[in-house]
Chains A and B, each alone.
Chain A
Amino acid sequence: MKLVRATRTRLLFHLGRQETRLLPQILKLYPRVPPAHHVLSQSGRIPDREANQRLLDEALAEQRAENRQLVQALLADPRRFARTETGSRLSLPPVEVEWLLQVLNDIRVGSWIALGSPEVKLSALNEHTAPDFYAMEMAGYFQAQLLEAVQGEK
């Protein structure tokens, strides 16, 4: 995944054949982070803790629903995900780069949680852990490419 061209309104990426196949597969996993993962306060010493936690849960649930719709729309739009001889071209306005980063990180963190939130990298994989590990690494790969493009633009 490489940034081909950047204007004020659009970033155009080239994806190789494998990336073209993998990105939709990874994006379809969204959302992966369990809602209970998000905690407003660790100490819990804030006024109306339960009501405020509920507000956070509702805001994030709304965002998840919105992001899921955006992912579906992105994958279904041939103008945005245009096939080429060597893979595809993905065109994103800067605001969509931000939500794509959020989506990819949700998949990455959610896959890590599914692996048991390991402190260090897993040394051995098995049939149960391999899919989550693979999703975590692939989401991280695309995330890193997007970040590189965004930072280059700054």
Chain B
Amino acid sequence: MTPEIQPGIVQVTEDKPKSGLEPGYRVICWNDPVNYMDYVTHVFQVVFGWARQKAEFHMLQVHEQGKSVLARESMEKAEHYVHQLQRYTLHATMERDE
């Protein structure tokens, strides 16, 4: 007897490594005592195309909490943003989302 095949939800629990294409990397800006707050806000506006209010929110998060997660992206995009932020000498890194 052939077992009956029914449609259903397949749960994949395999813990596979994140590929470079799927969102799984955080772009983080860390606080430092040297960069001006206005400068950080300006850089966020230029790099991410954000409105001033959103850029200021993240700048204040960096200033008050020591860091801010600016984006969750694929590895390539996260890397691109970190390159852009470091061109402006901000303390930015990419970290795997865990």
B38 lies within 8 A of A56 (CB): no
Residue of A47, A52, A63, A143 touching B39 (CB-CB under 8 A): A143
CB-nearest residue of chain A relative to B83? Answer: A59
Also in contact, A102 and B87, with CB within 8 A (given A140-B36, A147-B36, A147-B38): yes
Cβ contact of B88, chosen from A55, A59, A105, A154, cutoff 8 A: A105
| Docked complex Cα distance between A63 and B30 (Å) | 22
In chain A, positions 112-135 with a C-beta closer than 8 Å to chain B are: 112, 117-120
**Are the CB atoms of B39 and A147 closer together than 8 Å?**
yes
On whether the beta carbons of B36 and A143 are closer than 8 Å, the reply is: yes
Q: Smallest distance from the beta carbon of B29 to chain A beta carbons, Å?
A: 12
Contact of B95 among A38, A43, A102 (CB under 8 A): A43
> Please, how many residues of chain B have a CB less than 8 angstroms from a CB on the other chain?
27
Digitize B1-41: 1 where CB-to-A-CB distance is under 8 Å, 0 elsewhere. 00000000000000001001000010010100111101100
Q: Is the interface of B mostly helix, strand, loop or mixed?
A: mixed
* Structural contact, A39 and B93, CB atoms closer than 8 A: yes
In this assembly, does B63 line the interface, its C-beta being within 8 Å of a C-beta of chain A?
A: no
Complex Cα spacing A59 to B82, Å:
11
Q: Which residue of A lies closest to B46 (CB)?
A: A98
Nearest opposing residue in chain B for A63, CB measure: B87
Which residue of the partner chain, among A46, A102, A118, A150, contacts B89 with CB atoms under 8 Å?
A102
**If the complex has contacts A101-B42, A147-B36, are A46 and B88 also in contact, measured as CB distance less than 8 A?**
no
Q: Are B82's CB and A151's CB within 8 A?
A: no
Listed A/B pairs (5) with beta-carbon separation below 8 Å: A56-B83, A106-B89, A108-B89, A144-B36, A147-B39
In the assembled complex, how far is the CB of residue B87 from the closest CB belonging to chain A, in whole angstroms? Answer: 6
With both chains docked as a complex, state the minimum distance between the C-beta of B38 and any C-beta of chain A, in angstroms.
5
Partner of A101, one of B25, B39, B95: B39
Distance in Å: Cβ of A35 to nearest Cβ of chain B: 11
Contact of A41 among B34, B39, B83, B93 (CB under 8 A): B93
List of A residues within 8 angstroms of B36 by Cβ: 140, 143-144, 147
Q: Give chain A nearest CB distance to B5 CB in angstroms.
A: 37
